[in-house]
Amino acid sequence: MINQGEIKNDVMIQGSISTSVGFFTDTILNDWIDKAHKWASGYKKWPFTEGRISTTYVSDASTEAGFTYPEGWKPDSIRLLQVGGKRFNKKNFYKYQEFREDYPDDTDKICSDFGRLYYINPKADVSGTTTLWGQYTPAKLDATDHTAETVFSDNAEGGNEAIAEEVLSYVKKKQNKLQESITHHKIAMDALNGIWQQIRDEQFAYQGTEGEGMFKRINIVSGDFQSDIHRHQF
Beta-carbon-side half-sphere exposure of residue 171 (alpha carbons within 13 Å): 25
Q: At a CB cut-off of 8 Å and minimum separation 6, what does 122 contact?
A: 59, 60, 63, 64
Query: 223 in a domain, yes or no?
Result: no
Let me know whether 58 and 132 are in one domain.
yes
- Residue 119 CA to residue 135 CA, distance in Å, equals 17
What's residue 206's pLDDT? Answer: 67
Q: At a CB cut-off of 8 Å and minimum separation 6, what does 171 contact?
A: 11, 15, 17, 24, 32, 181
- Residue 128 CA to residue 85 CA, distance in Å, equals 8
- The count of domains in the chain is 2
Instruction: Please report, for residues 6, 9, 148, 185, the alpha-carbon distance to residue 13 in angstroms, rounded to integers and kept in the order given.
Output: 11, 6, 20, 17
- Residue 32 CA to residue 167 CA, distance in Å, equals 6
- Residue 203 CA to residue 224 CA, distance in Å, equals 29
What's residue 6's pLDDT? Answer: 95
Q: Per residue of the chain (234 residues), give pLDDT as tens.
A: 889 999 999 999 998 887 776 678 899 999 999 999 999 999 999 999 999 999 999 876 667 789 999 988 988 899 999 999 999 999 999 999 999 999 999 999 999 999 899 999 999 999 999 999 999 988 899 988 999 999 999 889 899 999 999 999 999 999 999 999 999 999 999 999 999 999 988 877 666 555 554 444 444 444 444 445 455 554
DSSP-assigned letters across all residues of 96-142: HHHHHHH-TT----EEEEETTEEEE-TTS---SEEEEEEEBPPPPP-
Phi, psi of 225 (to 5 degrees): -65, 140
Query: 225 in a domain, yes or no?
Result: no
Q: Is the Cβ–Cβ distance between 73 and 51 less than 8 Å?
A: yes
What's residue 148's pLDDT? Answer: 93
What's residue 21's pLDDT? Answer: 66
Q: What one-character DSSP code corresponds to residue 88?
A: E
Let me know whether 88 and 165 are in one domain.
no
Determine the structural domain holding residue 81 and report its residue range. 50-136
Query: 99 in a domain, yes or no?
Result: yes
- Residue 83 CA to residue 120 CA, distance in Å, equals 9
Query: 221 in a domain, yes or no?
Result: no
Query: 97 in a domain, yes or no?
Result: yes
Let me know whether 108 and 92 are in one domain.
yes
- Residue 31 CA to residue 22 CA, distance in Å, equals 15
What's residue 230's pLDDT? Answer: 53
Let me know whether 131 and 145 are in one domain.
no
